[in-house]
Chains A and B, each alone.
Chain A
């Protein structure tokens, strides 16, 4: 039971981390290597809000807004001029964004670790079917599930989602219909970076808040995105669940081999479904 609950909490964290990345790639076609840096920015922003106001909940609102605001700047100033260039130009550019964000965080908050604790109401351990888990983990599971449902609803069931999907599939056609595709792209990028910042703020009570924290998570994010299928939110949900449970099982039975198990899962999925669980092969002609 403990493995299941921990697995679900890991899945929730993985989904929150990777949702923004898959959204930005799926809707904008951008491989954002700076995603981990937005995650870090969210954690530091969350720390600042909690330090100033004492409210973890307010941090969950303001940190993603801050991440989205920085995302708007990055998209407008850096990415927009290179949308029609080769993909490696975008990749190099997002590498540059990593350096800028890291130096920015260092200049504002310094080198020290920051302490972010779970809110008092979620700080106590709870007993679920014989397993001792923290209330904060249960909150994370619920929060991750709610975010997945919300994202799915917005993208699949609302006019905004329809425009975003259409702009991703055929931007020229959408532009011909009078819709500002540039604005859609900016919005999607900002929403994705906001999600990364939200992940940083909400998971900060569990991990060290420090300058290198973005590098550690970016590999996990890419594993989820590749297993789920590039650009698929449904795939991100499934991959997060699969990877979270495999990792939790690994911690239970072979903690020295957890990463190896994760990569075996990745290889197995790619062998069976080269485009990921929910990825679609794009037509070339």
Chain B
């Protein structure tokens, strides 16, 4: 009995003193393992994300709570296996957090590893809903947009542009099919009829026959979930047959500044969601754009802006904990709020670790200002978080 009482007392004492006993000693450096595509088709995205993160680190003088920040950049080659392999190696070497990847399949694979190793993962690009399914992942946070929000924005875009009949072209993989299914559901609620759909392999080499089907379908708009190289191929080949003169062309994340550089006039008037835009009218954004231009001599892309904002938010939360325990960082980030992000206020969902934030829709435009590239994007609609995201219960 006495022994039992002693154990209870010892447990009580331990429970009281636990924070100090468990407190992690300050490390010699705060290590960020960035695993993103730096070669092949993803290199153009990865390079911009890297630039955005570097600006976020510069802003803190590359230190956090008096400890230098060390960041390593590994090329994931866009492959899940390579991503996991390189991340595992960095985690084993003592990484305090992981940043990445770009594509959803690689990011989902990466999240499996970071959950298992209990290391925080910051996601700014991949939009797969699986990364922020409520209650599924504890160590993963997405500060960028998710599929649901981008599809919601495009459905609103269709309504505001008086689309009545739509034809869909979708890559044949799960997340894209889910996105198209969600759009069809939302379109039905807005009285938009889906008159046809086609699924294609990715990467796709030719869209001309699918585009011909779309033009013959009687639709007044073509909706596509195709992204990156597929989107470029589709836009170039749609331009060949004058599709834009016959129907509206739009899709989630279909065009941005990078794609506009690739397609030029073929992207003008094409509707899309935007992850971020350099022209957003927030003080923090103006400051970021000025820093970015000073460092790199050009305007930040959507990928750079997203990466900067996510890393800045995360580092600020970590710094405010004054702790070197990863669990404290995760607890602090869960439900955290940043009021001065480059896109205004962002709330991190406590139930799903998905940031609630404004969403943008825009169109490709030809730009005449001498300091701007010839083709770029213009924001047409700004939606508030309450219009897009469900609140956490």
A residues sitting closer than 8 Å to B (CB atoms) are 2-3, 6, 9-10, 111-115, 117-118, 123-125, 131-134, 136-137, 205-212, 215-216, 220, 247-248, 251-252, 255-259
Among B205, B215, B375, point to the contact of A132 (Cβ < 8 A).
B215
- The verdict on B191 contacting chain A, using a C-beta distance below 8 Å, is no
| Residues on the B chain within 8 Å of A111, using CB | 43-44, 47
A248/B209 contact (C-beta < 8 A), A111-B44, A112-B261 known? yes
A212/B41 contact (C-beta < 8 A), A117-B265, A255-B198 known? yes
| Cβ–Cβ contact B209 & A210, under 8 A | no
Assembly CA distance A124 to B39 (angstroms): 35
| Cβ–Cβ contact A256 & B199, under 8 A | yes
Among A112, A206, A209, point to the contact of B240 (Cβ < 8 A).
A206
Give min CB distance, B156 to chain A, whole Å.
Answer: 28
| Cβ–Cβ contact A131 & B232, under 8 A | no
| Residues on the B chain within 8 Å of A206, using CB | 233, 236-237, 240
| Residues on the B chain within 8 Å of A256, using CB | 172, 199-201
Give min CB distance, B194 to chain A, whole Å.
Answer: 17
- The verdict on B283 contacting chain A, using a C-beta distance below 8 Å, is no
B residues sitting closer than 8 Å to A (CB atoms) are 39-41, 43-44, 47, 172, 198-201, 203, 205-206, 208-210, 212, 215, 229, 232-233, 236-237, 239-242, 258-259, 261-266, 375
| Cβ–Cβ contact B240 & A118, under 8 A | yes
Among A131, A209, A247, point to the contact of B206 (Cβ < 8 A).
A247
| Residues on the B chain within 8 Å of A124, using CB | 242
Assembly CA distance A99 to B183 (angstroms): 42
Give min CB distance, A187 to chain B, whole Å.
Answer: 31
| Cβ–Cβ contact A115 & B261, under 8 A | yes
Assembly CA distance A23 to B131 (angstroms): 49
| Cβ–Cβ contact A112 & B209, under 8 A | no
Give min CB distance, A175 to chain B, whole Å.
Answer: 42
| Cβ–Cβ contact A6 & B232, under 8 A | no
In the assembled complex, 21 residue pairs joining A and B whose CB atoms fall closer than 8 Å, in A order, are: A6-B208, A111-B43, A113-B232, A113-B259, A114-B261, A115-B263, A117-B265, A117-B266, A123-B239, A125-B241, A131-B212, A132-B215, A205-B236, A206-B240, A207-B205, A211-B39, A247-B206, A251-B209, A256-B199, A256-B200, A259-B201
Given A207-B233, A209-B262; 7 other pairs, CB 8 A cutoff = A9-B208, A111-B44, A115-B261, A132-B212, A205-B240, A207-B236, A216-B205
| Cβ–Cβ contact B258 & A112, under 8 A | yes
Least CB separation from B267: chain A residue: A115
Q: Give me the 7 closest cross-chain CB pairs, A-B, nearest first.
A: A113-B262, A134-B240, A251-B209, A208-B232, A115-B264, A212-B40, A212-B41
Assembly CA distance A207 to B234 (angstroms): 9
| Cβ–Cβ contact A113 & B258, under 8 A | yes
Assembly CA distance A134 to B209 (angstroms): 12
Among B41, B240, B262, B265, point to the contact of A125 (Cβ < 8 A).
B240
A255/B265 contact (C-beta < 8 A), A136-B240, A211-B43 known? no
| Residues on the A chain within 8 Å of B240, using CB | 118, 123, 125, 134, 136-137, 205-206
Least CB separation from A102: chain B residue: B39
Among B199, B203, B208, B242, point to the contact of A216 (Cβ < 8 A).
B203
| Residues on the B chain within 8 Å of A211, using CB | 39-41, 43
| Residues on the B chain within 8 Å of A112, using CB | 44, 258, 261-262
Assembly CA distance A205 to B264 (angstroms): 11
A114/B262 contact (C-beta < 8 A), A208-B229, A208-B232, A210-B41 known? yes
| Residues on the A chain within 8 Å of B232, using CB | 113, 207-208
Assembly CA distance A85 to B383 (angstroms): 65
Among B39, B40, B206, point to the contact of A251 (Cβ < 8 A).
B206
| Residues on the A chain within 8 Å of B41, using CB | 208, 210-212
| Residues on the B chain within 8 Å of A113, using CB | 44, 232, 258-259, 261-262
Assembly CA distance A134 to B239 (angstroms): 9
Give min CB distance, A30 to chain B, whole Å.
Answer: 25
Among A125, A131, A251, point to the contact of B210 (Cβ < 8 A).
A251
Assembly CA distance A133 to B241 (angstroms): 6
Assembly CA distance A139 to B259 (angstroms): 26
Give the interface centre of B40, B209, B229, B264 by most chain A CB atoms within 10 Å: B209
Least CB separation from A14: chain B residue: B205
| Residues on the B chain within 8 Å of A132, using CB | 212, 215, 241-242
Assembly CA distance A65 to B229 (angstroms): 27
| Residues on the B chain within 8 Å of A251, using CB | 200, 206, 208-210
Assembly CA distance A208 to B206 (angstroms): 12
| Residues on the A chain within 8 Å of B39, using CB | 211
A10/B261 contact (C-beta < 8 A), A134-B241, A255-B198 known? no
| Cβ–Cβ contact A2 & B212, under 8 A | yes
Assembly CA distance A207 to B236 (angstroms): 7
Give min CB distance, A7 to chain B, whole Å.
Answer: 9
| Residues on the A chain within 8 Å of B263, using CB | 115
| Cβ–Cβ contact A255 & B200, under 8 A | yes
Assembly CA distance A180 to B7 (angstroms): 94
Least CB separation from B231: chain A residue: A208
Assembly CA distance A257 to B258 (angstroms): 30
Assembly CA distance A115 to B266 (angstroms): 10
